[in-house]
């Protein structure tokens, strides 16, 4: 997959009506109030560029999983309100996706103005990449701009289908993801340290193999480390483990050795009887007592990982070191985040829980790049073709 794609900076958008695919899939509380607007904020550079350069913007996004049915609690109405506040201009919300309201608002749209379509997934044809629905979306505009990196691994009507009917380029956010992550995995400054965490090896099988081909050091944290520890004969108590991945873990350890990659596993663990246990213990990662579950990396592990990060010229991090949402088990994730914030190298946070942790610790601005993708970032790191990127126009030399 080529990552050299045309962006809005490579073409003239003046006087053009633009269908802009954003990622406004934001978390909300029970009352519908947005609890984290970072995805909306991430779209602002592209939106402002388009408006300031004379485009008329038809913004669209999904929210949640309404499964093709109009679900009032998943309306984009709160997003339209927040977007209006952030832009300082009114952002009218169509009451449908490609129906009479959408066509009327889009038809009346003038240069420098923006509207928002209702939740794309209110129409069951969106996730089926239905050609007729894609054509209906495309009929609202003259140019398609992809700026929802978190959705480019999905071949949906709004991420791929519309490209069959409109010239299609990347927005500033997607372009930045491609440039920074693409460069880090194709030609990284070295030493290159990759950090993986989270619950399961099975979620990151391809990523582990790919990183062992390009990284100088691979750090394994989170609950996924216990499958490695178990495979090596350790005792892990009640810690999470994938018994069907023990052979895979040994294969990856052997691959690291054969390629000269330093694979670091946490030597110690913070374990407890439950998340609410007020008396957690610190023990060797391969000697977790029965009845205890490893929920964070220990102090020796934190020191080991921080030292590796301090010497790195490029660091990519995807997955927390423990249950960082609980203060008693946040120290490992916090230590990694702090080390990246202090690094003089290129620091890339691979979306998902790692991005949430960095935001929680107030360290977002200290990183070179915080990806807006989750699954898309993982598939990009793995080297998979992303359909929502492949369909965009290539830069020709």
In this prediction, residue 396 carries a pLDDT of 80
**Token code pair at residue 80:** 């339209």
The model's confidence at residue 1, banded by pLDDT at 50, 70 and 90, is low
Q: Dihedrals φ, ψ of 6, to 5°?
A: -65, 145
Indicate whether 346 pLDDT > 70: yes
Element containing residue 301 per DSSP (H, E) = helix 299-310
Count CA atoms within 13 Å of residue 172 on its CB side. Answer: 11
The sign of the CA dihedral 363, 365, 366, 367 is positive
Domains 8-172 and 179-382 share a fold: yes
Give the start-to-end residue ranges of the domains of the chain.
8-172, 179-382
**Token code pair at residue 18:** 């633009």
**Token code pair at residue 201:** 């090896």
The model's confidence at residue 243, banded by pLDDT at 50, 70 and 90, is very high
Task: Give the residue-averaged pLDDT of 120-147.
Answer: 98
- Catalytic residue ranges: 39, 200, 352, 375
The model's confidence at residue 397, banded by pLDDT at 50, 70 and 90, is low
CATH architecture for the domain at 179-382: 3-Layer(aba) Sandwich (3.40)
pTM: 0.90
- Tokens 């069951």 identify what position? 124
Measured between alpha carbons, how far is 34 from 31 in angstroms, rounded to an integer? 9
Find, among 304, 305, 311, the residue nearest to 343 by Cα: 311
**Average pLDDT taken over every residue of the chain:** 95
Task: Give the residue-averaged pLDDT of 3-19.
Answer: 95
In this prediction, residue 352 carries a pLDDT of 83
- Tens digits of per-residue pLDDT, 71-81? 999 999 999 99
Contact 214, 270 (CB under 8 A): no
The domain 8-172 having CATH identifier 3.40.50.720: the answer here is no
Helices (H), 16-145: 38-52, 77-87, 100-108, 131-138
The model's confidence at residue 37, banded by pLDDT at 50, 70 and 90, is very high
Element containing residue 382 per DSSP (H, E) = helix 375-382
The model's confidence at residue 86, banded by pLDDT at 50, 70 and 90, is very high
Task: Give the residue-averaged pLDDT of 253-265.
Answer: 96
């Amino acid at each position: 997959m080529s990552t050299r794609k045309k962006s809005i900076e490579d073409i003239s958008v003046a006087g053009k009506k633009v269908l802009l695919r954003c990622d406004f899939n934001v978390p909300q509380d029970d009352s519908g109030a947005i609890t984290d607007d970072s995805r909306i904020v991430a779209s602002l550079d592209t939106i402002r560029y388009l408006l300031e350069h004379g485009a008329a913007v038809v913004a669209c996004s999904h929210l949640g999983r309404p499964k093709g049915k109009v679900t009032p609690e998943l309306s984009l109405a709160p997003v339209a309100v927040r977007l209006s506040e952030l832009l300082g201009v009114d952002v009218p919300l169509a009451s449908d996706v490609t129906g009479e309201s959408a066509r009327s608002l889009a038809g009346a749209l003038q240069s420098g103005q923006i509207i928002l379509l209702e939740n794309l997934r209110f129409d069951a044809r969106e996730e089926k990449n239905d050609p007729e629905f894609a054509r209906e979306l495309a009929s609202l505009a003259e140019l398609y701009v992809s700026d929802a990196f978190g959705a480019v691994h999905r071949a949906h009507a709004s991420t791929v289908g519309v490209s069959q009917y409109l010239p299609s380029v990347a927005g500033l956010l997607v372009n930045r993801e491609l440039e920074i992550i693409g460069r880090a995995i194709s030609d990284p400054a070295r030493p290159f340290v990759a950090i993986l965490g989270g619950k399961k090896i099975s979620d990151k099988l391809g990523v582990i193999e790919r990183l062992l081909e390009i990284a100088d050091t691979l750090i394994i944290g989170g609950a996924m480390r216990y499958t490695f520890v178990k495979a090596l004969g350790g005792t892990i108590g009640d810690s999470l483990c994938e018994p069907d991945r023990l052979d895979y873990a040994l294969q990856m350890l052997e691959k690291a050795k054969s390629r000269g990659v330093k694979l670091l596993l946490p030597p110690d663990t913070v374990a407890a009887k439950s998340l609410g246990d007020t008396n957690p213990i610190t023990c060797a990662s391969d000697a977790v007592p029965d009845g205890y579950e490893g929920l964070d990396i220990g102090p020796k592990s934190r020191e080991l990982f921080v030292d590796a990060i301090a010497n790195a010229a490029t660091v990519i991090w995807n997955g927390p070191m423990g249950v960082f949402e609980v203060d008693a088990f946040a120290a490992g994730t916090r230590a990694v985040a702090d080390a990246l914030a202090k690094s003089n190298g290129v620091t890339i946070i691979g979306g998902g829980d790692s991005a949430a942790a960095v935001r929680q610790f107030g360290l977002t601005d200290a990183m070179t790049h915080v990806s807006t993708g989750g699954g898309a970032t993982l598939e990009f790191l793995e080297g998979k073709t992303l359909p929502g990127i492949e369909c965009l126009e290539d830069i020709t030399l």
